[in-house]
Amino acid sequence: MKEEEIKKIINKSIQEYDMKRNDNQLVQLQDIFGNLKMIDNTDDLTNTLAAIPQNFYEQLFLDTTTTNKKLYIYDFIKSTWNKIKIDSPTIYHGAITYTGTAWTPLPTGWTVARRSGFAAGSYVITHSLGSTSYVVTAISAGQANTFIACQDRSNNSMILSSFDDAGDFTDADIFFTLIT
């Protein structure tokens, strides 16, 4: 069974379940599939993937051993496990002042400072993501004719800079959103 077919089956089950409820509440997966088994350590994952499921409860499980969660479904016809990566982006928000300090609390462990060697408008935000697999959007917090750019991103920091309409660095309060 291909990944798209699995997704269609799951979506159809959810839609049928949702039509019966008709109350616009969140769907509890266990109401559709029974109690969804969660595997959170690698030994259990290895043993489960090596075994042939004996019932539906063993045929479907969620792998949470890493931050990249996967839904596994056993295909009895092909005697193979199919997996679907579950994308769950994390969204971080923050605001910094024109002086290079946190305006609102930043995520735990994050810091901000005025960029060394710049008199105005450039700020280094240090984070602990350990990856460049993220995007950043930022806007000026009310200063007219001010534009914000993410000038650099690395595994553990990013540089946000503010410019006036002439293209010169200028101090500005900044709202930002980072999505992994």
pLDDT at 11 (0 to 100): 61
The helix or strand, by DSSP H or E, that contains position 6, with its residue range, turns out to be helix 3-21
- For residue 23, give the amino acid letter: D
CB 130 within 8 A of CB 156: yes
Average pLDDT over residues 91-120: 90
39: its two tokens:
């595997």
CB 94 within 8 A of CB 107: yes
Compute the Cα dihedral for 3, 76, 41, 47 and give only its sign.
negative
**No. of H helices and E strands in the chain?**
4, 11
17-71 pLDDT, tens per residue? 555 555 544 444 444 444 567 788 899 999 999 988 886 667 788 888 887 778 8
- Using alpha carbons, select from 112, 103, 127, 128 the residue that is nearest to residue 161: 112
Distance CA 18, CA 75 (A): 26
Q: What percent of the chain has pLDDT over 90?
A: 32
The pTM is what? 0.54
Helix, strand or coil, per DSSP, at residue 3: helix
pLDDT at 79 (0 to 100): 83
136-149 pLDDT, tens per residue? 888 888 888 899 99
- Using alpha carbons, select from 53, 43, 44 the residue that is nearest to residue 82: 53
